[in-house]
Structure 1
């Protein structure tokens, strides 16, 4: 079949999760690949509860009441797996004995993930705080470093309204001492109505540990400043998946993968190869996402292709690519094969090959995490139908930070606030015969710091996790150009006609039914704007009547990383319930796996941080 052109968006996020079988020789490298995913930073919040916190803030409340509000907000909004601890000083001894007062520091909450029980316990403890004593900042910093342990990324967030009243040890000397230990630890400091005499000391703590300093004049600004620090530490892209080691030498020695989500890595400029089973009557979806610590250089290119193994690179089943305009830290693409029965010659043993082409890293570069997603659709998955999560609304509709954690929403308007530099994701289900329109708005305050490239960006991804043009002006980002006030971007409307439908117009990728992902951000801001919280609104409209033709339903593996699994009636055909992604599933190497497992429709992972003022138009090629 001839390839069909389609205009594509460039820039970035696609997450690929592919089920795989690890060969014994690949075990060591697979273990290394697992370590490529950055872990959430462990954070210890150190709160000043000295007697001066009973004074009024600029809003008329006590500083203590304002601090309780701000800390409770952090606890409420912390991701469930975010490790958070809480230490206070000046909270228990109200007397004049300096020796006793300067030893008054306690860890009231160990550094632990914020599950439901930990969250409830932390809020109860915060509600009971009293401010009575001294200000032993230096001693508290030493103890907070112990709270965090000795491994991984760690941060201390210090909130203080004044000078240390207990030196020695001087707080800045303690900060230098911690930095000299060579551990990955930074101290961020918020001066809460701190006098000028205290600011120099507090700023020194931040400066010598490569942390940050900010002033807060009232409870609202304290809440915002704390929110900014924690969002920066937690809400970054976290590559996930079952470790797999793709071959660097072609299809012959590549591991066999089954539906699921997996994590590999690009090394040097080498491509990654995997084997996959697919009969002519089945359809294959493959998506891939590379994750960089910083933005990609302009022109970085990732391609995913699949087809029967042979000479050269496989591409007869699908081929998709995406190119970066720069400023993005994830680069993603994905595609689906066309219906094959009657049009497609079987591959030998029904086994084909997937290649993820790497034009991102070069020899000598650090390894880069790559997520892989593979799904299969056939009559058995079609009979089961997709499993769709319940949409959320209100506060529960706050965006997630990957395809995996994208928040399910339905039609309507959803409002929240995001920090500049964040790129939250939402997901919405769309069927063939329906029309999708997305409108996103942001309110930019009058004192917002801007640069020439500051703007408001919106990207929509189809069910293949392809990023596509928002509208016909080919721009991903609307520049503010020094203006403030309300800005909106409207994407669509798009007719979801069904992939490969002959009646489909030039849809720029939006003819594929399934799960669509929406991502929004204030892009490429001035450095001083990073972390500023701004209100946004997201309006989703899904209109039209679903067509009578059933959309393909893909099985992406029963893998915790994807949040997917078979329907309750699914069976592997050997008496076991359900199916498994990853090595366990792949090891079966059995056609019955995808024949008999039911499919929940796609969750994926990956976060596209929009970059670029305009997107190039690329032609999408699929050979079959």
Structure 2
């Protein structure tokens, strides 16, 4: 049972910062955690209708075929480099009247492959040569498209059709049910392009039975926008990463031992997750956990991280931190650290403690939910780390990423791009104690935007512990539209970055952890009709104040924990991905490629440094929970 928070705000995030502790070196020195696994983007096969009816000249002053070519070319141009895309057409080669031959007229013109430069050029050349001449074998084409995509990973078919299947049997909806019954992770999104009402029910059925979506399009622009929305939905979502691990669901005694690094587990049916961790009393431990949902959380969902000696009851003597969602967020994240120095905590027998990630997010019967777990330690061997941080990006290269790992590094200034409603991009900035951060994020809402009473513009800043900070003392995190259009702006800060455990400058808003801060922006809880609408946004970052050296710890997250997922846009800048930078005693920032001197051969860092040539790059990933409720709680 959780006591009432001291401060409660609708649509606000109240930060919480508690105890922490560090991982012990001895028993874990021989194994370094693997790099966070880069999630594969959904494999998509675009199935395009090239039947004779596509020659009609009723698509906004041009033929349906010309409009389709324009839309498909746009998809090819904007696909992320890592996104596997294939193209199948039907009705493209046989102009005769023999039904048997015409209903076999379906071809895979582009194998499902990543969209590098050569693949894009080849795909666009093929699209330019399309002709519309034949029958409409929708059902047969769906079966073949499923084969195109293979049998593993997330897969989607995007079907564009302008009418009824002229080749049934097999009826397209029955084929869709057949694919779904196979138990494969495959959905079919359907775009009805100037589709008559007689065919719409058939196409909607395909989407409904496969948990896909249906949309109508009447001209080239609407087809381009609708297809863009569907592909962005599949490609530009949160990318959960980490070394696979299976936490115990029965308590610490059966839990796996985790060393510094980033892990990927999952919540199932309301069950908590337990992990063993080794930590000496002179070390500090950070634990951060992020649950990732395909849709928003129910209000009141809670995720808790705690750590301490294993024993009766819940481990919490080292740290305890939680986050409570008010709903509509695509992630819920929290993190904590132990207090510094020996003697401030209860030691664990043999230095083996327990991490608990408490699940008050899923319930029995819910679909398993990915959970990122980040574990780090700091001790005297990490304090003198030589470090470097990635170069900030500007212009088109500053487009936000879609996970903590792929958050785009930016510096002071104004950054502009467009996002689709429902997307939640991340950026990252490096901050030292003594500096002040101000974030202004604006969105331009068109006059015909279909917002609901709870639709709003949200901005969240997360600190180096993946902990939501308080955006503004006077306003909520999310600015409700309330029917307004035009430019809407949210301001977070200015907040001064203090030093954790600095008694002279305590901060109750989450800004007491120097290092990497994460900024996330989103048009939150949109009406269904608004999902996918693309709107321009601006993000202005101001960093002022004089940096001061301090005693903030430099955390070690494993040799490869700083290996980041590339941005979904394929813009990797200088190749350095977004690790988290913790400020060390010399005031420098920690980052990917930083090297920790092995000053203490008995420490975990010391033992790992020699065989692996470690980088003590610090990766503290931040996340976002819209409409979050946070508070401080003592262990």
Q: Is the 1:47–1:87 Cα contact (8 Å) retained in structure 2?
A: yes
Pairing 1:567–2:593 present:
yes
Residue 531 of structure 2: aligned partner: 530
2:331 is matched with which residue? Answer: 330
Deviation of 1:119 after TM superposition, in Å, equals 4.4
Q: CA deviation at 1:541?
A: 1.7
Structure 1, residues 190-217: CA drift from partner, whole Å, max 9, x if none? 2334566765665565456554332333
Using the TM superposition, give the Cα deviation of residue 11 of structure 1 relative to its aligned residue in structure 2, in angstroms: 9.4
Corresponding residue of 1:582: none
- 1:169 aligns with 168
Aligned to 1:619: 631
The aligned residue for residue 388 of structure 1 is 389
Hey, what does 1:131 align to over in structure 2?
A: 131
**Could you list the per-position Cα deviations for residues 171-226 of structure 1 after superposition, in whole angstroms to 9, with x for gaps in the alignment?**
8x223233245245443232334566765665565456554332333333222101
Q: Output the TM-score relative to the length of structure 1.
A: 0.81
Q: Measure, in 1, the Cα distance between the counterparts of 2:101 and 2:415.
A: 51
Question: 2:443 touches 2:538 (CA, 8 Å); kept in 1?
Answer: yes
Query: Aligned-pair distance for 1:320?
Result: 1.2
Cα deviation for residue 270 of structure 1 reads 4.3
Query: What TM-score, normalized to structure 2?
Result: 0.79
CA displacement at 1:92 relative to structure 2: 4.3
1:306/1:202 CA distance change after superposition, 3 Å: closer
SS in 1 for 2:491: strand
Structure 1 position 107, deviation (Å): 0.5
Task: Please give the root-mean-square deviation of Cα atoms over the aligned residues, in Å.
Answer: 4.0
Q: Is the partner of 1:470 in helix, strand or coil?
A: coil
- 1:592 is the counterpart of 2:600: no
Offset, 1:110: 1.8
**1:232-283 alpha-carbon deviations (Å, 9 max, x no partner):** 2333334332222333454444332111111233345543332323334432
Residues 210, 548 of structure 1: alpha-carbon distance in 2 compared, 3 angstrom cutoff: closer
Q: Specify the SS of the correspondent of 2:232.
A: helix
Q: What is the distance in 1 between the residues matched to 2:253 and 2:168?
A: 63
Residues of 2 paired with 1:114 and 1:12: CA distance?
Answer: 41
CA deviation map 1:122-158 (0-9, x unaligned): 34543x4332422434243343233234555543212
Shift of 1:66: 4.1
Q: 1:28 aligns to what?
A: none
Indicate if the aligned counterparts of 1:379 and 1:595 stay in contact, CA closer than 8 A.
no
Partner of 2:317: 316
2: distance between equivalents of 1:215 and 1:259?
A: 49
Offset at residue 508 of structure 1 (A): 0.3
Cα deviation per residue 1:558-583 (whole Å; 9 max; x = unaligned)? 346852696375688999xxxxxxxx
C-alpha change, 1:356 and 1:131, in structure 2 (3 Å) is same
Task: Tell me, in whole angstroms, the C-alpha distance in 2 between the residues paired with 1:571 and 1:511.
Answer: 26
Match of 2:624 in 1: 608
Q: Which runs of 5+ in 2 are unaligned?
A: 28-35, 565-578, 580-590
In 2: Cα distance, 1:535 partner to 1:137 partner:
39
Render the CA deviation track for 1:266-313: whole Å, top value 9, x for unaligned: 345543332323334432211012234543332222221223445543
Is 1:375 aligned to residue 376 of structure 2?
yes
Query: Does residue 243 of structure 2 align to residue 242 of structure 1?
Result: yes
Which residue number corresponds to residue 435 of structure 1?
436
Give matches, 1:534-545, under 5 Å.
534-545=535-546
SS of corresponding position for 2:307: strand
Aligned residues: 583
Provide the residue aligned with 1:179 in structure 2. 177
Q: Please tell me whether the aligned partners of residues 305 and 320 of structure 1 are also in contact (alpha carbons under 8 angstroms).
A: yes
Does 1:146 pair with 2:159? no
1:326 is displaced (CA, Å) by 2.4
Is contact 1:406–1:426 with CA below 8 Å preserved after alignment? yes
Distance 1:285 1:211, change over 3 A: closer
Distance of aligned partners of 1:254 and 1:116 in 2 relative to their CA distance in 1, 3 Å threshold: farther
* Residue correspondence of structure 1 range 10-159 to structure 2 within 5 A: 10=13, 41-50=42-51, 63-92=64-93, 103-114=104-115, 118-119=119-120, 121-126=122-127, 128-138=128-138, 139-150=140-151, 153-159=154-160
Residues 1:312 and 1:202: Cα distance change in structure 2 (over 3 Å): closer
